[in-house]
Amino acid sequence: MEGLPIENYIPNYIKELIPYPPGKPIEELERQYNVKNPIKLASNENPLGPSPKAIEAIKLATKDLNRYPDGSAFYLKEALSNKYGISQEQIVIGNGSDELIDLLIRLFIQPSIQCITSHPSFLVYKKRVQSVGGENIIVPLKNFRHDLVTISKSVTDKTRLIFLDNPNNPTGSTISQKDFSQFLNDLPEDVLVILDEAYMEFCRDHDTPRGLEYLGKDSRIITLRTFSKAYGLAGLRLGYGIMHPNIASYIERIRQPFNVNTLAQKAAIAALNDTSHLEKTLQLTWEGINYLSKQLKKLGCKVYPTNTNFLLIDISLDAQTVYEEMLKKGVIIRSMSSYGFTNFIRVTIGTEDENKKFISCFKDVLKKLKK
Ligand SMILES: *Cc1c(COP(=O)(O)O)cnc(C)c1O
């Protein structure tokens, strides 16, 4: 851009943004590390793949790809409204729940306006807030859980949004019903709480709030869900938000007219109807949690209880080194170093074979590093 004074046009809060850390494509890793069929346990995806019914629906829909998508996502909203017994005016569909996070932040956050998030939690919240020049108020987790008391004390008259990923990414922990009730009691009526329930399908903790229970009762609560995790459709990009119709109507005004593509809409409806694929996914995940937790404990690691499809593990070794050693063996995991957790890794539950491969490679890496 030499000769163009564009640097002056860009606000400092955008210049200071760090791009979301991209992963390498699997094919690239195969080449670079010379490994065959690497396994990816880094992004909390469904190892079984999409529902076969979703794949069928996608194939059928390809012939209509010359047409624009249904901008109102009519049938998908209808399917969701039937599933949950709610009205379509309470539902917003997004190109991933990422887009809904972005839209909510664009709707409510401006320079000098505050958004509260926990650290660590999903990275996208803070980056989106920064991209509109808002102020991030960051409250550390306490005992690996959202510290609702401190969050509540951090609210000022400039606070509009609080993001709570429940269950939390990357710890897998949940909020208790009692703590949440107290939190809502203490919270001003003009502060919105976004419950990001990306992993709620996996959650076996009955003592944690589900956002849906508050619909029609507490209009401060917005629930986000996604088809990327339990439903195995991460590549299609599809999420939905459930909220007071007033808020929904503002999101409808600022979103792009065709934000959710045709294949995603068709696949999602089919996936919602395929309860057997979902059940298979949950069963596999829960068995994998048992297996991996047991094996990892035997190896002297500390495994944190999880309500998701991933495990946070304290390996008492430098996580970045272990990440790189595992990569050489064709196992992609997540190092938590960038979150400031230098001895922690996050591992997605895979298929039975993938979990076994992870354990056997991890054993080898431990042997090598502890020599
Ligand atoms: C994966 C994840 C999402 C993103 O979901 P998309 O629908 O794929 O955008 C949102 N929140 C949390 C906490 C996640 O881990």
| Residue-by-residue DSSP string for 51-96 | -HHHHHHHHHHGGGTTSPP-TT-HHHHHHHHHHHT--GGGEEEESS
Q: Please give the distance, rounded to the nearest whole angstrom, from the Cα atom of residue 95 to the centre of ligand 1.
A: 11
Are both 156 and 243 inside the same structural domain? yes
CA distances from 219 to 90, 212, 241, 244 (A): 11, 11, 13, 6
**39 domain-assigned:** yes
pTM for this model (two decimals): 0.96
Q: Domain check: are 243 and 139 in the same one?
A: yes
Mean pLDDT of 293-314: 98
123 lines ligand 1 (CB under 6 A): no
Shared domain check, 65 and 147: yes
CB 166 within 8 A of CB 201: no
Closest C-alpha residue for ligand 1 atom 12: 198
Same domain, 35 and 180: no
For a mutational test of ligand 1's pocket, the pick from 103, 175, 229, i.e. the residue with the most ligand atoms closer than 8 A to its C-beta, is: 229
pLDDT score at 1: 54
One domain for residues 285 and 237: no
The lowest-confidence range among 8-17, 87-96, 166-175, 268-277 is: 8-17
Q: Categorize the per-residue pLDDT at 3 as very low, low, confident or very high, splitting at 50, 70 and 90.
A: low
Q: Are residues 320 and 268 part of one domain?
A: no
**Domains in the chain, number:** 2
Does the beta carbon of 226 lie inside 6 Å of ligand 1?
A: yes
Q: Are strands 135-140 and 114-119 parallel, antiparallel or unpaired?
A: parallel
pLDDT at 109 over 70: yes
Which residue among 228, 339, 349 is best mutated to probe the pocket of ligand 1, counting the most ligand atoms within 8 A of its Cβ? 228
Q: Are residues 40 and 124 in the same domain?
A: no
Mean pLDDT, the chain, whole residue set: 96
Buried-state track 51-69, b at ≥16 Cβ within 10 A, e below 16: bebbeebbeebeeeeeeeb
Q: What is the mean predicted confidence (pLDDT) over 78-92?
A: 98
| Nearest CA, atom 15, ligand 1 | 169
- pLDDT tens figures, 305-322: 999 999 999 999 999 999
pLDDT value, residue 125:
97
For residues 282 and 202, state if they share a domain: no
Distance CA 198, CA 226 (A): 5
Q: What is the structure's pLDDT at 24?
A: 72
Which pLDDT band, with edges at 50, 70 and 90, does 262 fall under? very high
Band of residue 359 on the pLDDT scale cut at 50, 70, 90: very high
Residues 28, 151 within the same domain: no
